[in-house]
């Protein structure tokens, strides 16, 4: 066992040790040995314990020897100046067996630490999940523990444990998160100065709670991503438990590096709520309590923007950079990384939509980086976040398929296309196309004309002759001739609004099927 003088002195502090050795001196000790007048003091890996009366003036110490000596008689000044001896002195009335047992406790702890270290190492190799690491740790700690994310929600808890602790019960009742009332109880414990950036474990006194607890934060890439809490229930805390807490935090850090949410999280509390909503792992009843306890200000109008980064950077090395740029563009947006998307949740007062400047900046951003983005319709219930996130994804996917333009696409512009896409998976869409339009397309193919594209432009320009002629780069009279010819071929009157709707729907279907590009 490698032991420092400082650690040994702390173990012996009840015996009031006197020592002139540098406290950072370290020794490799394998055993504790009583010395007598016949001892040769040749084994440098022994810690020698005995009485001053057993020391002989002619004793020599060629190699470094660590010694604990009870001064039943004054120790000769010669020993204080001998090279090779590192002496810790104890008072004359000290019980030598008590000293021996106290030091041997260090060896027992060392064996336990080595065993725990080996098991934790295996947990990494075998890719244990957070819950399995909790259960493993609880067996060595002999006390229950939980792992919390930054929103104070349980993401791991030692199994088969029921505590009478208020916060423990509160989390069990409230979907594994801490309520506002429980946070109030914690903050009353003024002895505990909460520091999210402290890497060292601390013991939190029980205060108004039932049990003392050890708190230690978990870091990934120097960023706090969670906390472990160990409860003093079955066994009193020792210094070794602080060491264990540090080891568990380090192992959980390695484990959580594989979690993309943790890896790309900014460590902000709101991220956890939105991530749970996107995963649909939070109930509506628990959501309100979490919003209240974490002071999240939910505005009237909510929008979701999803930006697909899967095709741009499969290494995700630029993900945080992109996210920061978007945060600059949409300053009141709250962004999270979810699956292959940067997701921005925008919450604003009623009827306060994205400005033209913001839309232009997002479009410029997507265009330069060759990214597709989609935005959902406005909604007002944050618990529906997953539904509207899927709207945003649908919008960008349809834009990629139909328009192939790197920009922000609005779901409202793709509602008809979405319906067609759903129908396409089950039936032949051409059966919904107007027969007269199909007839016109066949006419164009046979006669090498472009009446169908002229009809399309005429319809999308709301039958405005001037605008349509300009779009088609033709004279107004030529356009009038074409419209009359189209009505003759189709045998339909374009003044009929129902007929025009059927034609536009047919064009949508044919465009979706990529049969013809009517914009050329």
3-state SS string over 324-335?
A: HHHHHHCCCEEE
- Asked if 156 and 131 touch (Cβ cutoff 8 Å), the reply is yes
pTM of the model: 0.54
pLDDT given at position 480: 94
Structure confidence at residue 265 as a pLDDT band (50, 70, 90): low
Predicted confidence at residue 283, as pLDDT, reads 73
Residue 169, number of CB atoms within 10 A of its CB: 14
- Angstrom CA distances, 98 to 49, 102, 103, 237, 290, stand at 11, 6, 9, 21, 53
What value does the mean pLDDT of the chain take? 83
pLDDT tops 70 at residue 317: no
Q: Where are the alpha helices (DSSP H) in 154-214?
A: 166-173, 180-187
Tokens 């397309």 appear where?
Answer: 441
Are 241 and 230 in contact by the 8 Å Cβ rule? The answer is yes
Distance CA 59, CA 102 (A): 27
Which tokens belong to 413? 């512009």
Q: What is the pLDDT of residues 84-102, one digit of tens each?
A: 788 899 999 999 999 999 8
The per-residue pLDDT for 393 is 95
Band (485; pLDDT cuts 50, 70, 90): very high
For the chain, the structural domain boundaries read: 2-107, 127-264, 297-423, 429-512
Mean local confidence (pLDDT), 186-204? 63
CA distance 343 to 334: 8
pLDDT at residue number 491: 92
Q: How much is the pLDDT for 519?
A: 46
Give the DSSP H or E segment for 307.
strand 301-308
Question: Which tens digits make up the pLDDT trace of 428-438?
Answer: 888 999 999 99
CATH homologous superfamily of 297-423 equals Reverse transcriptase/Diguanylate cyclase domain (3.30.70.270)
Residue 51, pLDDT score? 93
Q: Which of 37-51, 274-288, 366-380 shows the lowest mean pLDDT across its residues?
A: 274-288
Asked if 70 and 50 touch (Cβ cutoff 8 Å), the reply is yes
The yes-or-no verdict on residue 403 having pLDDT over 90 is no
The answer to whether the beta carbons of residues 371 and 335 sit under 8 Å apart is no
What pLDDT, on the 0 to 100 scale, is given for residue 315? Answer: 44
Give residue 60's pLDDT: 66
What is the pLDDT confidence band of residue 518, given thresholds at 50, 70 and 90? very low
Instruction: Please state, in angstroms and rounded to a whole number, the distance separating the CA atoms of residues 21 and 41.
Output: 19
Tell which wins on pLDDT, 480 or 176: 480
Backbone angles phi, psi at 238, to 5 degrees: -125, 170
Mean pLDDT computed over 285-301: 73
22-40 pLDDT, tens digit per residue, is: 777 888 888 899 999 888 8
Class of domain 127-264: alpha beta
- pLDDT of residue 445 exceeding 90, the answer is yes
Give per-residue pLDDT as tens, 70-83. Answer: 999 988 776 766 67
At residue 126 the predicted structure's pLDDT band, cuts being 50, 70 and 90, is confident
Given a cut of 80, is residue 66 above it in pLDDT?
Answer: yes
Place of tokens 């020599």: 60
Phi/psi region, residue 473 (left: phi>0; alpha: psi -120 to 50; beta: rest), is left
Name the CATH architecture for the domain at 2-107. 3-Layer(aba) Sandwich (3.40)
What number does CATH give the domain 429-512?
1.10.10.2840
Residue with token string 């002496």: 87
Does position 119 have pLDDT exceeding 90, yes or no? no
For range 252-257, the mean pLDDT: 82
**Residue 196 clears pLDDT 80, i.e. is over it:** no
Q: Is 202 exposed, middle or buried (0-12, 13-18, 19+ CB in 10 A)?
A: middle
Q: Running DSSP on this structure, what letter comes out for residue 149? A: E
CA distances from 46 to 43, 101, 102 (A): 6, 15, 16
pLDDT, residue 520, reads: 44
Backbone dihedral angles phi then psi of residue 75, each to the nearest 5 degrees: -80, 135
State the DSSP code for 158. Answer: -
- Selected residue with higher pLDDT from 392 and 368: 392
pLDDT for the residue numbered 316: 47
H-state helical runs in 282-432: 284-293, 319-329, 356-369, 385-398, 415-424
Q: What is the pLDDT of residues 333-389, one digit of tens each?
A: 888 888 888 899 998 888 778 889 999 999 998 888 888 999 999 999 888 999 999
């Amino acid at each position: 066992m490698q032991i420092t003088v400082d650690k040994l002195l702390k173990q012996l502090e009840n015996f009031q040790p006197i020592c002139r050795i540098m406290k950072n001196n370290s020794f490799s000790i394998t055993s504790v040995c009583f010395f007598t007048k016949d001892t040769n003091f040749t084994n440098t890996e022994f810690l020698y314990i005995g009485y001053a009366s057993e020391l002989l003036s002619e004793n020599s110490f060629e190699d470094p020897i660590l010694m604990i000596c009870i001064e039943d008689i004054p120790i000769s000044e010669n020993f204080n100046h001998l090279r090779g001896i590192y002496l810790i002195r104890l008072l004359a009335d000290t019980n030598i067996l008590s000293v021996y047992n106290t030091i041997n406790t260090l060896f027992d702890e060392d064996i336990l630490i080595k065993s725990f270290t080996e098991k934790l190492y295996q947990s990494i190799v075998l890719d244990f999940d957070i819950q399995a690491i909790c259960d493993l740790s609880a067996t060595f700690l002999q006390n229950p523990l939980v792992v919390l994310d930054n929103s104070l929600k349980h993401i791991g808890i030692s199994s088969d444990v029921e505590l009478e602790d208020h916060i423990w019960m509160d989390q069990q009742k409230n979907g594994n998160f801490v309520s506002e009332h429980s946070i109030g109880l914690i903050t009353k414990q003024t002895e505990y100065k909460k520091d999210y950036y402290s890497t060292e474990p601390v013991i939190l006194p029980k205060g108004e709670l039932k049990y003392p607890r050890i708190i230690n934060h978990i870091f990934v890439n120097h960023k706090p991503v969670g906390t472990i809490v160990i409860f003093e229930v079955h066994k009193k805390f020792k210094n070794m438990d602080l060491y264990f807490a540090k080891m568990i935090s380090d192992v959980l850090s390695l484990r959580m590096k594989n979690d993309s949410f943790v890896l790309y999280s900014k460590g902000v509390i709101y991220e956890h709520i939105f991530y749970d909503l996107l995963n649909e792992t939070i109930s509506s009843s628990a959501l309100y309590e979490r919003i209240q306890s974490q002071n999240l200000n939910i505005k009237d109008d909510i929008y979701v923007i999803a930006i697909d980064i899967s095709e741009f950077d499969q290494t995700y090395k630029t993900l945080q950079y992109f996210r920061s740029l978007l945060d600059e563009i949409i300053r009141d947006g709250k962004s999270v990384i979810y699956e292959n998307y940067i997701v921005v949740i925008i919450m604003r007062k009623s009827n306060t939509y994205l400005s033209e400047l913001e839309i232009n900046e997002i479009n410029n951003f997507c265009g330069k980086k060759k990214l597709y983005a989609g935005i959902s319709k406005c909604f007002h219930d944050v618990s529906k976040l997953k539904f509207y996130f899927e709207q945003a994804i649908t919008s960008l996917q349809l834009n990629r398929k139909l328009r192939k333009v790197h920009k922000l696409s609005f779901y409202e512009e793709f509602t008809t296309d979405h319906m067609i896409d759903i129908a396409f998976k089950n039936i032949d869409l051409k059966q919904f196309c107007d027969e007269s339009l199909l007839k016109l397309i066949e006419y164009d193919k046979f006669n090498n004309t472009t009446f169908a594209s002229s009809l399309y432009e005429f319809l999308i320009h709301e039958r405005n002759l001037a605008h349509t002629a300009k779009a088609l780069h033709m004279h107004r009279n030529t356009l009038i001739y074409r419209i009359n010819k189209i009505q003759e071929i189709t045998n339909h009157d374009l003044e009929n609004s129902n007929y025009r709707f059927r034609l536009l729907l047919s064009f949508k279907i044919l465009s979706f099927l990529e049969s013809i590009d009517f914009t050329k």
